Structure 1
C-alpha cells in the first residue's frame, strides 16, 4: 500500500504530533480518555481474556 504523499517524508514523531493536533489532545486526563474511547474498542472482561 502506498503512503499518502503528505506523509511520505514525515518521521513517526511528526505523524504522531499531527494526529494529536487533529484530535485536539491536551493534558486533561478525562478529555484524553474520552477521545481515546472514540478510537479504541473496550478490552474484553471476565472469562474472555483467559486463554
Structure 2
C-alpha cells in the first residue's frame, strides 16, 4: 500500500473536529471582537 501521510493542516482540522471546536467563522469573529475590544486596566502609579 502507498498510504501518504496526512499534511499537518489536515491533522489539525481533524483534531479540532474531534474536540468539537466551533468552525463557524462568524462565531470566531464575534468572540475575537469581544476580546479585542477590552480595554486594559489602568496602571497603578507607584508613588
Pick the TM interval, shorter chain: 0.3 to 0.5
**TM-score, structure 2 as length reference:** 0.39
Instruction: Select the structure with the greater relative contact order (CA < 8 A; seq sep ≥ 6).
Output: 1
**TM-score, structure 1 as length reference:** 0.36
